[in-house]
Amino acid sequence: EAGVTQFPSHSVIEKGQTVTLRCDPISGHDNLYWYRRVMGKEIKFLLHFVKESKQDESGMPNNRFLAERTGGTYSTLKVQPAELEDSGVYFCASSQDRPTYNEQFFGPGTRLTVL
């Protein structure tokens, strides 16, 4: 079974440019999460999709970040325009829909560097 995949693995852009990150969850997982780790800090929750619906986007830093999950399959996270403080590793995770314990499976992350 394929795990969570993310593309690209690395992205280097200049301040003011736009970047789109992609996440493909494990097939059949309705829940999809985005997290971010800024250098030296904790991994922070950004948002949570159930199928194509945003359930919780309380962790999104500001309106320069836009996440979509059209059709309830893969998800994209767009940063426009990118700022220096957006640099970090963006992780995607997915999980099945269970009433109690549901393990979140993480992708390898996309390392974003904004110059």
Partner 1 sequence: GEDVEQSLFLSVREGDSSVINCTYTDSSSTYLYWYKQEPGAGLQLLTYIFSNMDMKQDQRLTVLLNKKDKHLSLRIADTQTGDSAIYFCAEGVKWQAGTALIFGKGTTLSVSS
Closest CB to partner 1 among 14 and 56?
Answer: 56
The Cβ of residue 38 has, within 10 Å, a number of other Cβ atoms equal to: 14
**CB 3 to partner 1: min, Å:** 8
Q: Which residues bind partner 1 (CB under 8 A)?
A: 3-4, 31, 33, 35, 40-45, 48, 50, 55-56, 58-59, 91, 93, 100-109
Residue 86 makes CB contacts below 8 A (sequence gap 6+) with 61, 64, 79, 112, 114
**CB 88 to partner 1: min, Å:** 13
Closest CB to partner 1 among 20 and 102?
Answer: 102
Residue 59 makes CB contacts below 8 A (sequence gap 6+) with 44, 45, 46, 47
**CB 97 to partner 1: min, Å:** 10
